[in-house]
Amino acid sequence: MKKTDLAKSDAKKIMNQMGARNAAFGAAASAPVDKREQRERDRALGLVPFAVKLNGELVGRLQALAKERGVDMNQLVDEVVRKGLRE
């Protein structure tokens, strides 16, 4: 291998590494919040995880309603449960 070919090969390696770093940097900038941080925020708001099993059709209706209203699923379920408990 000639000296110039070796230099070109090294340059390509460096360029690929720089591209990978920039791609990782962009992904890290838009990455979601750390789960631990999210739990801390939820605790500060007085939120408690509460898992339930629901019928798939009901979940689909809730998801459609949340999308229609443009709200988070947590907000929608909170609203529905509060209305249900008032009755």
Q: Are residues 23 and 62 in the same domain?
A: no
Instruction: Express each pLDDT in 49-75 by its tens digit.
Output: 889 999 999 999 999 999 999 999 999
Nearest by Cα to 58 from 73, 72, 48: 73
State how many domains the chain has.
Answer: 2
Alpha carbon separation from 81 to 19, 48, 53, 54, 84 (Å, rounded): 49, 14, 15, 13, 5
Same domain for 77 and 43:
yes
In the predicted model, is pLDDT for residue 39 greater than 80?
yes
Shared domain check, 22 and 57:
no
Give the model confidence (pLDDT) of 5-38 as tens digits. 878 888 888 888 877 665 555 555 556 678 899 8
CA 79 to chain CA mean position, Å = 23
Domain match, 22 and 51 both:
no
Asked whether residue 70 falls in the same domain as residue 55, the answer is yes
**0.95 surpassed by pTM:** no
Domain range enclosing 2: 1-31
In this structure, the answer to whether residues 19 and 45 fall within a common structural domain is: no
**What are the tokens at 36?**
């631990």
